A = this chain, B = another copy of it.
Amino acid sequence: MTSIWHDCYTRGLMSKTVQELAALIKGRVIGDGQVLISGITNLESPGPGLITFVQDEKTLKRLESSPIACLIVPSSLEGSSKPLIQVPQPKLAWAKLLEYFFPAASYSQTISEKAVISPSAKIGRRVTIEPFAVISDLAEIGDEAVIRSRVFVGSNVRIGQKSILHPGVTIYENCQIGNAVVIHAGSVIGADGFGYVATPEAQEKIPQVGNVVIEDQAEIGALTTIDRATIGSTRISKGVKIDNQVQIAHNVSIGPHTVISAQTGISGSCKIGAHVTMGGKVGVGDHVEIGDWTMVGAGSGFPSGKKVPAKQVVFGEPARPYQEARRQIAAQLRSAEMLDEIQRLKEQIAELEKKIDACLTVPGRRPGGRS
**Which A residues form the contact surface with B (CB < 8 A)?**
1-2, 4, 7, 40-42, 44-45, 89, 91-92, 94-95, 98-99, 101-102, 104-105, 112, 114, 116, 130-132, 134, 148-150, 152, 166-168, 170, 172-173, 184-186, 188, 191-192, 194, 196-199, 201-207, 209-211, 217, 219, 221-223, 225, 227, 230-233, 239, 241, 243-245, 247, 249, 251, 257, 259, 261-263, 265, 267, 277, 280-281, 283, 285, 298-299, 301, 317-318, 320, 327-336, 338-339, 341-342, 345-346, 348-349, 352-363, 365, 367-371
Contacts and interface: CB of A to CB of B under 8 A. Distances in A.
Contacts of A327: 336
Contacts of A259: 196, 198, 203
Nearest to A360: B359
Nearest to A195: B95
B355 A358 contact: no
Contacts of A355: 356, 360, 367-368
Contact of A336 (B114, B317, B331, B349): B331
8 contacts: A42-B232, A44-B251, A95-B197, A131-B134, A166-B172, A184-B188, A267-B280, A345-B345
Nearest to A52: B231
Copy count, this protein chain? 3
Q: Considering residues A231, A277, A361, which has the most beta carbons from chain B within 10 angstroms of its beta carbon?
A: A231
Nearest to A131: B116
A359 B357 CA distance: 9
Q: Is the interface of A mostly helix, strand, loop or mixed?
A: loop
A241 B114 contact: no
A261 B80 CA distance: 47
Contact of A232 (B1, B134, B346): B1
A359 B356 contact: yes
Given A241-B194, A245-B225, A262-B249, A359 B367 contact: yes
A249 B257 CA distance: 21
Closest 7 CB pairs of A and B: A331-B335, A358-B368, A102-B209, A191-B222, A331-B336, A170-B185, A188-B222
Nearest to A350: B348
Contact of A44 (B98, B232, B317): B232
A44 to B, nearest CB: 7
A276 to B, nearest CB: 11
B360 A360 contact: no
Contacts of A116: 112, 114, 131-132, 149
Contacts of A369: 357-358, 361
Nearest to A267: B280
A267 B196 CA distance: 25
Contact of A262 (B265, B320, B346, B349): B265
Nearest to A155: B105
A95 B204 CA distance: 8
